[in-house]
Amino acid sequence: MAGLNDDAQWIVLMGFVVSFSLFFLAMLLNQSTLVGQTTAEGVLDFPKNDVRDVKDVITESVMLYTSGRDSPSNATVVQLDIESLALSRKNAVVGYTPIDEIALPTSSDKHTRISIHYNNGVTEYNEYWTSL
């Protein structure tokens, strides 16, 4: 390049191409440490297991009540347990149909119906659950 003539311009051009491709590769290397990061964050942020767990314990408790194995007053104690523990330890607002509003099964309608609400500020989940 220092020579004051225009020889070897192709060599110089190829030099540029190679150096730019090296920088491009360096950029790829720079980004590769982030692979899987957003995926893992997405999985950690979404409260899939929390929603499943809280739904399981709610239906279990309500079914104990509607099948006559637990008193309404005790089912209300369990409801307060779930709601206050979810708020204080899981940072989630959880609510479901008050026990005294859940219809007991009759001979014509054997189903138990509960509305379940879950909201942790990022994910909101509502379900209208009907027993089999």
Partner 1 sequence: MVNDTGQLYTIEGIAAALIMLFSAYLVLSATSVYTPGDTHISDMQLEQLGTDALRMMNTPINSSSAKSPLQEIVETNNATYFNETFLNYVNNKTELKTDNLHYSAVVTYRNITNGNTTWNYPLSSNRNLTGGEHPVRVTEWVLANIQAGSNVKQNRAILVEVLLWRD
> Where does this chain bind partner 1 (CB under 8 A)?
1, 6, 9, 12, 16, 19-20, 23, 26-27, 30, 33-34, 36-37, 39-41, 43-44, 49-50, 53-54, 56-57, 60-61, 64, 70, 74-75, 77-78, 80-82, 84-85, 88-90
Smallest distance from partner 1 to CB 59, Å: 10
DSSP reduced 3-state for 46: coil
Nearer to partner 1, 30 or 107 (CB): 30
Collect all residues with Cβ–Cβ distance below 8 Å to 120 and sequence separation of at least 6.
Answer: 47, 50, 90, 91, 92, 93
Half-sphere exposure (Cβ direction) of 127: Cα atoms closer than 13 Å: 15
